[in-house]
């Protein structure tokens, strides 16, 4: 009964979202003045839909991995954090996200495309995005295009999309599909790491995509003795993973693991549904990183945690704040542009509380969010660094140091 009630509540939260064209991935020939092109390389374990060029892939599982290049056009009046879906076909490039190019690739074509995009961009870096539960193929493509555009993250964009059916009540199927796809993601990350044109790989996972990601990295560590050194950053946004399971996954990555940054929110309604559905004690993405035993555990594992609780975004479930909050998505990109790990702050000390304090305060002040972090954890040198970072992200905005008592 509780599961049915919560599922109905979640469905109600999603009701009222505008209709959208069912074939949004059908390429258009027109381009709008001022629009931005975002090229994306796609690897997917979804089963193809022959004769459906506007959909390309569905929610069923394929026995092999398919590759594709899709170029997405972002409208000139785009609002940071939003995906302006076309409500009819073809979409209007001046107002909507539309597809400009959609070409199949084989394995060799994927690698040649990576090298070409590295050469054109001058960036030898890759950002891999792994989406979450309840995502159709076009959801994943347009959401990643929005994240790549809004964050200004450097390098080549690579989307790994697994067979989610894109339905709220298909949670068990999606969970099994995520597990089904972990070896394919492992192979993709291994191949990208072996590509000489690439020097750095950042991985951003959301929701159930964190399960796929940690399982793939865990398999790499077990198979090869460590996670490939080129994988520098792993960003876990709203991870839909049981806390105890996540702990063992991270431990299995070994001592030479990438820098891990965790984005959490205690008001995440989708994770509340997951916890109730599975009967879990705690979901990793819903912990309070400022309380024990989580604070000490995160510090011991050298994991940075950023608390997004009560931050404003366009998501009624508070499950996609990392992508829909302008402050957060820009902050992620600013770190990557600067060549830093997402949780890196100068002079913040060695405790997880200090790192959480610095990151959460700089993000929370920008969104006037009430984030419970003691002001004393930020020392004067850190405040200067936070000011520089904040000014770079939101020029002319309110200085978060004004909210912190001076010494």
pLDDT (0 to 100) of residue 290? 77
Q: How many CB atoms lie within 10 A of CB 152?
A: 13
pLDDT digits (tens, 9 = 90+) for 72-111: 999 999 998 889 999 988 899 999 999 999 999 999 999 9
pLDDT at 137 exceeding the cut of 60: yes
**Between 404 and 23, whose confidence is greater?**
23
Write out the DSSP string of 223-258.
Answer: HHSS--TTEEEEEEES--SBHHHHHHHHHHT-TTPP
pLDDT at 226 exceeding the cut of 70: yes
- The rounded distance, in Å, linking the Cα atoms of 354 and 382 is 10
Sheet holding 98-105, edge to edge: 98-105, 57-74, 36-48, 156-161, 125-130, 200-206, 231-237, 259-264, 303-307
Q: Which domains does the chain have, with CATH numbers?
A: 2-335 (3.40.50.1820)
Comparing 4-8, 298-302, 303-307, 356-360, which segment has the lowest mean pLDDT? 356-360
pLDDT (0 to 100) of residue 268? 60
3-state SS, residue 155:
coil
What is the average pLDDT score of the chain? 76
Contact present, 211 and 177 (Cβ < 8 Å): no
pLDDT at 257 exceeding the cut of 50: yes
Contact present, 302 and 251 (Cβ < 8 Å): no
pLDDT (0 to 100) of residue 382? 33
Taking the model in full, what pTM does it have? Answer: 0.76
Q: Which two tokens stand for residue 244?
A: 């105890």
**Between 109 and 267, whose confidence is greater?**
109
**Between 326 and 42, whose confidence is greater?**
42
228: Cβ–Cβ under 8 A, 6 or more apart, which residues? 189, 190, 193, 201, 220
pLDDT digits (tens, 9 = 90+) for 2-52: 444 444 444 443 433 446 778 999 999 888 999 999 999 999 999 999 999
pLDDT (0 to 100) of residue 112? 97
Q: Which two tokens stand for residue 323?
A: 């992508």
């Amino acid at each position: 009964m509780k599961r049915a009630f919560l599922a109905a509540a979640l469905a109600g939260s999603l009701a009222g979202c505008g209709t959208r064209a069912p074939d949004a991935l059908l390429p258009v020939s027109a381009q709008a003045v001022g629009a931005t092109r975002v090229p994306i390389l796609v690897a997917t374990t979804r089963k193809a839909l022959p004769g459906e060029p506007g959909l390309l892939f569905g929610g069923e599982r394929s026995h092999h991995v398919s590759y594709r290049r899709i170029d997405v056009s972002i409208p000139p009046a785009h609002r940071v954090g939003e995906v302006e879906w076309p409500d009819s076909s073809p979409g209007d490039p001046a107002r909507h996200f539309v597809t400009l190019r959609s070409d199949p690739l084989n394995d060799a074509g994927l690698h040649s495309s990576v090298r070409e995009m590295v050469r054109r961009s001058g960036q030898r870096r890759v950002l891999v995005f792994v989406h979450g539960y309840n995502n159709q193929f076009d959801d994943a493509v347009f959401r990643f295009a929005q994240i790549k555009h809004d964050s200004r993250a450097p390098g080549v964009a690579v989307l790994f999309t697994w067979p989610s059916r894109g339905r709220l009540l298909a949670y068990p199927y999606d969970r099994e599909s995520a597990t089904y796809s972990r070896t394919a993601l492992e192979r993709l990350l291994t191949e990208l790491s072996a590509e000489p044109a690439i020097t750095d790989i950042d991985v951003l996972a959301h929701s159930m995509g964190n399960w796929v990601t940690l399982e793939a990295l865990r398999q790499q560590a077990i198979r090869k003795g460590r996670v490939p050194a080129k994988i520098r950053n792993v960003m876990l946004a709203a991870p839909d993973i049981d806390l105890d399971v996540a702990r063992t996954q991270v431990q299995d990555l070994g001592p030479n693991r990438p820098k891990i940054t965790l984005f959490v929110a205690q008001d995440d309604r989708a994770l509340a549904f997951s916890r109730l559905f599975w009967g879990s004690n705690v979901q990793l993405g819903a912990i309070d990183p400022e309380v024990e035993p989580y604070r000490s555990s995160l510090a011991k594992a050298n994991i940075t945690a950023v608390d997004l609780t009560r931050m404003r975004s366009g998501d009624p479930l508070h499950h996609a704040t990392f992508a829909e909050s302008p402050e957060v998505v820009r902050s992620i990109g600013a770190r990557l542009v600067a060549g830093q790990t997402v949780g890196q702050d100068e002079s913040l000390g060695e405790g997880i509380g200090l790192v959480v304090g610095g990151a959460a305060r700089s993000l929370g002040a920008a969104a006037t969010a009430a984030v419970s972090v003691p002001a004393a954890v930020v020392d004067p040198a850190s405040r200067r660094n936070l000011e520089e970072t904040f000014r770079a992200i939101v020029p002319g905005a309110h200085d978060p140091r004004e909210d912190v008592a001076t010494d």
